[in-house]
Each structure stands twice: as C-alpha cells, then as structure tokens.
Structure 1
Amino acid sequence: MKQIIFIFCMILMLSFCGCTNVGSNRNEYMSNWFKSEQEISDNMMKQIIDLYNEGNVKEFEKLFSQNSKKDIEDINKQISSFFEFIDGDIQEYSGDCASSSENNNGNKRIELDGMYHISTSKNEYYLNFYMVYKADDVPSDIGLSKIEIATEQTVSRENFMWDTSENGIFVVRE
C-alpha cells in the first residue's frame, strides 16, 4: 500500500511540475513566449534609432541577416547614406507592424514588416523595415533584410510607392 501511495505522489508531483527548464527564469520564459509581434517590431525600431543616435555603422550592420548581407552591395555605404539622410535629432517615433508566418513540417518562419513615423527636430520621415524573426529551417535568414526611408513630404505625393524588391537600405529622395 505504501508503494502505491508513493507512486501516486510521484505522479502527482510530476503533473504539477510539468516540463520546466530548471536553469531558466520562468518569468523571462513566459514573457518571451507571449511577446507580441508589435513588441518585437518596436524593439527592432528602438535598436535602429539607438544605433543611428550613436552613429554606430558596425553594430547597425549586425542587425541584418547573414543571408541578406550577401545580396547587399557596400552595406556600410548604404548605412552611412541612411545616417546622413535623417536631419535633426530624433524626438519620437511610432508605428505598426504587419506579419506573416508559415509552418512547413514543423519548421516555423515569422516575417515582420515594421512601418514607422519618425519626428526629428527638423523634419518628418516614414521608415519601413522588413525582417525575419524566426526561421527554423534557415537560421541565417534571421534579422533585417531591407530598410526604406523617405520624408513625409515625399511619401505624401500622389504617385508615391515603396517599390524596392531587393535587400538593402533605400533612401528615397525627391
């Protein structure tokens, strides 16, 4: 009888504990599990803004995926052009995120498109970025693939379109 009670208690204890990773912080795990796509997009935008403010070309380049960097000609020049295009100190930014996801034989892929409005002390801008957040089958796709930026005045033109299909940083001038 004692063995049956002991076995029952062990089963009950395992049921309550479940499959936990003892070495990890449960709150952090749950936070990452439920992190919204908007939060992920906002975090990437914050990194873009912070690195712009620092003028850190080297770290900015690291935001791009390994695979996308193979397709981008002279990425450091493109980053410098992006930094030079923004006039004034960034005072605020806000935006939205669109996403797409797929699951092929258990390999999950999540792509995000961030669309942000940036206000500086001298001008207003719109910035779009495209990134892969998760790619189980091709981890080297994870990161940014494209950034597009234009002034608010340019975007408000009747015939304006974001139309660059390749990877890179695109500064849309009037």
Structure 2
Amino acid sequence: MKKATLTILCLLMILSTAFCLTGCKSREQRLSEETAYEDAQMNAMNKKIVKCINEKDKEGLKKLFSKSAKRDIEDIDIKAEELIHVFKGNKIQSTNSDAHVTSGSPESQPLNITANCIFKLDNGKQYVGWISFCTMDDKNKENVGLMVIEICNCSSKELPENHMWNGINSGKPGIFIHYID
C-alpha cells in the first residue's frame, strides 16, 4: 500500500513538473509572439505617418486617427497641417522606436501601443516624439487607430530637463507639437 502511494505521488510530481515546464515554454512563446506583433504594428504605423508627412498628405494623416480620437481632437485640420510643417520641408528618412509600452493583449482588449520615436531627417537632424494608437478593440471598433502624435523639434539630447510631454501624459487624443529654440 505504501509503495503504491509513493509510486503514485512520484508520478504526479513528474507529471506536474512536466506540465509546469511546458506551460512556461508556451508562455515565453506567447510573449515573444505578442512582442513581434507589437513591433510589426509599430513599424507599420510609423511608415504610414512618415508617408503622410513626407507627401504632405493632411487627409491621409487624419485618416490614421481613430474615429473616437477625431471626434475629441479640436481643430484636427489645423493640427495636421502644423505637424506637416514642423519638418520645414525636410523629408523623414527613417524612424526608430526606442521603447514602447503596451496595455492589453489580443485576449484582453483593447490593445494599445505607445512608443517613443526618433525621426531622422534628410538634413541630419533628429526629432523626438511619442506615438500612441489602439491596434485592436473588438468591443469598440471606433477606438482602433492613432490616438496621439506628440513631437518636439529637437533630439532627445536637446530636450530641456524639465520638458513635459502633454499629450502622452494627459491621456487625451491629439496632435501635440513642442518647439524648442
């Protein structure tokens, strides 16, 4: 009787250990897949924004914003025009997302991505900014799309120590531009 109990306990321990190890592996795989998805979404959004700015496509830029954000942004036409002109006719050659924060997941929606971006211009300058967008919300499709573009006309190294990012920190949708002399 004692041998049978010990054998069953050993088998249960082996099975539970195997189950835990495979569970960790699948969790790591899932996180890797989610990170790859987020990176792909961020790169796609960056490309769309850059294309609109480089082509001075104000209407295209406005279309990137979610329906709910467009309703909440005052003077979106003026703000989109101002964003295009902040680059003073210089083309954005590339963008780099240094860090991003994600809230939600494909299973726990909405899935929002916020990233710090570096815009490298053809004149050698760099502008720093933030982009925030919702990539997935099955319960409210009007939330899907761009929420915030916030940009400063200088590099991250040139930002004043006390610089505040108004749009990202407020949680309000919009186009926010900071001019640093």
Verify same fold: TM over 0.5: yes
Report the Cα offset of residue 92 of structure 1. 2.2
Structure 2 CA distance for partners of 1:69 and 1:144, relative to 1, 3 Å: same
- Once the 2 structures are TM-superposed, how far is the Cα of residue 34 of structure 1 from its aligned partner? 8.7
Is 1:115–1:128's contact at 8 Å kept on the other side of the alignment?
Answer: yes
- Which has a greater percent of helix? 2
Letter in 2 for 1:151: N
What is the match of residue 50 of structure 2? 49
Q: Give the letter for the 1:80 counterpart.
A: E
Instruction: Describe the superposition over 1:62-112 as per-residue Cα deviations: whole angstroms up to 9, x where unpaired.
Output: 100001111111111101000101132222221142211068xx7621000
Structure 2 counterparts to residues 98-113 of structure 1, below 5 A: 98-101=101-104, 108-113=109-114
- Distance in structure 2 (CA, Å) of the matches to 1:39 and 1:63: 16
Unaligned runs of 5+ in 2: 1-32
Please list the CA deviations of residues 115-152 of structure 1 after superposition, one character each: whole Å capped at 9, or x if unmatched: 11011115210121111111111110000111100023
Match of residue 153, structure 2, among 151, 154, 157: 151
CA 107–117 in structure 1, closer or farther in 2 if over 3 Å, else same: closer
Alignment check: 8 A CA contact 2:104 2:112 kept: yes
Q: Return the alpha-carbon distance in structure 2 between the equivalents of residues 153 and 54 of structure 1.
A: 22
Residues 152 and 179 in structure 2, CA contact (< 8 A), matched pair in contact too: yes
Structure with higher strand content: 1
Shift of 1:156: 2.3
> What amino acid sits opposite 2:173 in the alignment?
N
Is the contact between residue 118 and residue 129 of structure 2 (CA under 8 Å) also seen in structure 1?
yes
Distance 1:107 1:137 in 2: 11
Whole-Å separation in 1 of the counterparts to 2:159 and 2:35: 36
TM-score (norm 2): 0.70
Instruction: Percent identity, please.
Output: 25
> Would you identify which runs of 4 or more consecutive aligned residues in structure 1 move more than 3 Å?
32-35
Q: Match of 2:161, SS? A: coil
Secondary structure in 1 matching 2:109? strand
AA at the equivalent of 2:159 = S
Contact 1:107 1:137 in 2 (8 A): no
Q: How many residues align?
A: 141
